[in-house]
Amino acid sequence: VLPPELVSQIAAGEVLERPASAVKELIENALDAEATRCDVSIEGGGLTLISVADDGSGMSAEDALLALERHATSKLNAFPELYEMTTFGFRGEALPSIASVSKLTLTTRTRDGEAGVELKLDGSTRPELRPVGCAVGTHVEVRELFHNVPARRKFLRSTGTEAGHVSDVVEAAALARPEVTFTLRRDGRRVREWLRTGSREARVADAHPGERLASCRGERGPLRLEAFLSPPERARTGAGGLSLFVNGRPVRDRALAVTVAQAYGSVLEKGRYPRGVVYLDLNPRLLDVNVHPQKSEVRFADPRAVTDAVYGILARALAGAFSLPSSPRGGAPRPAAQADTAIEPALLAEAAAAEISLEAAAAPGTDAAGLIFVRDSLTAPIRPGPQTTWSSLRFVAQLRQTYLLCEGSDGLYVLDQHAAAERVTFTRLRKQYQSRQVACQALLFPIVLEVGADEVALVEQRGREIAEVGLDLRVRGPGLLSVHAIPKLLQRGSPERLVHDLLGELARSGGRGFSDAVDLALATMACHGSIRAGDALTESTAAALLSALDLADFAGHCPHGRPVVTFTSWAELERRVGRR
């Protein structure tokens, strides 16, 4: 039987990876005590000092003594309650773990306590207790963290890096609880301040200053989702800019992050993730929070149902938020002349059935229309008023056989013709594919291709599904395929290249579903089968392209996420030529 101090130190190894882990535990205790304010201060990256003060419930002297014992908690009585938890803590382990690897002072006073009490713990010694005058709430000071665990100290990074982790932890807590004020001081200097606010949206805006985030909300059965996500061109490699919260807990969940990225469809390459925040709220019974000592992971009773719901809600909301012509909520009516209107109303009805609300981004002065235009600098996205549609633009000229110069009521638009055509082809192809009606063009002379054994195996296994993409591919022998038909929309493309695109994407898809791989394949194929830079366009082709853009999702981006258009307002032009 191990002595209790040693047990605590071993537990501390799991719970406390670095100073930021201690800060996280102390903040969570403050929030569990219903604090409305939480002041965090660190010195030396948290190794010299961590101080967390709250204005929560406080503890009696008796409770404070108990709180420092292992497995003492006020938050849980019986195992089944774990599945109804609304507090962050439940293990009764954080304080004793921290105390076992530091010099800890806890000062606390309850609302009706006449005075406060101070407890000092120095490693394994019994706490010294004395009455003190102090404010209602709890203040924990942790000095010389890991002083008795030299191995742990060796693994730590520079104080700057450790302080950065602390800052991330405070930010996560602030995002989790917008109604609480947080401050962070580093070596005596106030570095962050989060004033309490009434909504998650406002807190997220504080956390992502200057970022134009689309608000997406939806519900599916017991699951409620609220997300604030960046446009695709602000995505970054890795999920570092994307915060996930499940029932208010900050969590790491790769599957969830991947699902969020996949909801952008082909505009995000694999491995790239949007910036922003996703809040998932569901019945706590459908969730196991007791899977990770730092509680940074949760397990869903039905993970598939969760990812399906998240994907379903976000895919529609994002397409709406980032596309032309108007938001379904009281936006402008579509011009009557447009064909293909059957699709969108059906989609909207479906969205309405799923109780999805699409909202315009939080940026001031923007409107509900979703298209992202990009200013000259390519950095400051703007949105046109809801009346602006691509087809209302007047095509003026083709420049360098690459750009379309167009005149709108509000300014000049320059479109990249290849990116625009690619987007239109992709949208049409995907609609055809989704209704399993890809129009094919038979080749007069089948083309024989030499390929690898893997690709032959792929065609043998997936022949029927591949046919649905509009490619008639047949196995001719070991290492030989023949192409008999290609999608009509991609007639400009070389059949060899299209086959290569599709098989390449399917082979790479690995664990992802076939349909995701097809989505990416369609994007690549659309790229290779569309009008290119260098193609001369007639006026009528250009006009047709503009009207077709009105029907393409994400009309402001090519399927690979590159912006399609730059905009210069008349006012800007006048300023530049000195008329203003």
Residues at the site binding ligand ATP, with contacts judged by CB under 6 A: 25, 29-30, 32-33, 54, 56-59, 67, 72-75, 89-95, 138
Choice between 290 and 441, CB closer to ligand ATP: 290
| CA pair distance 390, 8, nearest whole angstrom | 65
Q: Distance of alpha carbon 457 from its chain centroid, rounded? A: 36
Query: Do 493 and 532 form a contact (C-beta atoms < 8 A)?
Result: no
Rg (Cα) of the chain, in Å, rounded? 29
Residue 54 binding: pick among Mg ion, ligand ATP, none (C-beta 5-8 Å cut-off by kind): ligand ATP
Q: Which pair of tokens denotes residue 358?
A: 């699409």
- Which of 456, 507, 506 is closest to 481 using CA atoms? 456
Cβ distance to Mg ion smaller for residue 45 or 89: 89
CB-neighbour burial class of residue 162 (10 A; exposed 0-12, middle 13-18, buried 19+): buried
CB of 89 to ligand ATP, least distance (A): 2
* CA distance linking residue 436 with residue 431, whole number of Å: 8
For 344, counting Cβ atoms within 10 Å of its Cβ (0-12 exposed, 13-18 middle, 19+ buried), the class is middle
Cβ of residue 119: shortest distance to ligand ATP, in angstroms? 11
Task: Answer with the entry of Mg ion, ligand ATP, none that 56 interacts with (C-beta below 5 to 8 A by kind).
Answer: ligand ATP
**Angle formed by the axes of helices 159-176 and 200-207, to 10°?**
160
Query: DSSP state, 76?
Result: -
Minimum distance, C-beta of residue 174 to ligand ATP, in the bound complex (Å)? 17
Q: Which is nearer to ligand ATP, 58 or 529 (CB)?
A: 58
Give the span between the Cα atoms of 117 and 64, in whole angstroms.
8
Of all residues in the shown chain, the one whose CB is closest to Mg ion is 89
89 binds Mg ion per the rule CB under 5 A: yes
Q: Does 56 bind Mg ion (CB under 5 A)?
A: no
Residue 170 belongs to what H/E stretch?
Answer: helix 159-176
Residue with Cβ nearer ligand ATP (11 or 257) = 11
Strands 242-246 and 394-399: unpaired
Q: Which residue is nearest to ligand ATP (CB)?
A: 89
Of Mg ion, ligand ATP, none, which one does residue 476 interact with (CB within 5 to 8 Å by kind)? none
> Minimum CB separation from Mg ion for residue 28, in Å?
5
Q: What is the bridge-based pairing of β-strands 223-229 and 214-220?
A: antiparallel
For tokens 């090519």, name the residue: 558
Q: Of the two residues 89 and 328, which places its CB atom closer to ligand ATP in the complex?
A: 89
What gap in Å lies between CA 195 and CA 412, rounded to an integer? 41
Between residues 295 and 383, which has the closer beta carbon with respect to Mg ion?
295
The residue type found at 494 is: S
Between CA 160 and CA 151 the distance in angstroms is: 20
Task: Give whichever of 91 and 418 is closer to ligand ATP, judged by the CB atom.
Answer: 91
Q: Which stretch in 50-58, 85-93, 111-119, 398-406 sits in contact with Mg ion by CB under 5 A?
A: 85-93
The span from the CA of 266 to the CA of 247, in Å, is: 29
Smallest gap, in angstroms, from Cβ of residue 114 to ligand ATP?
Answer: 18
Touching Mg ion, residues 1-40 (CB under 5 A): 29
* 138 near Mg ion (CB under 5 A): no
Minimum distance from CB of 374 to ligand ATP (Å)? 46
Q: To the nearest whole angstrom, how small is the minimum distance from the Cβ of residue 106 to ligand ATP? A: 8
* Distance from C-alpha of 458 to C-alpha of 190, rounded to nearest angstrom: 59
201 binds, among ligand ATP, Mg ion, none (CB under 5 to 8 A by kind): none
* Closer residue to Mg ion (CB): 94 or 287: 94
Q: Least distance to ligand ATP from the beta carbon of 339, Å?
A: 59
Contact residue for Mg ion among 11, 27, 94, 351 (CB under 5 A):
94
**Rounded least distance, CB 80 to Mg ion, Å:** 20
Q: In the complex, which residues of this chain contact Mg ion (CB under 5 A)?
A: 29, 89, 94
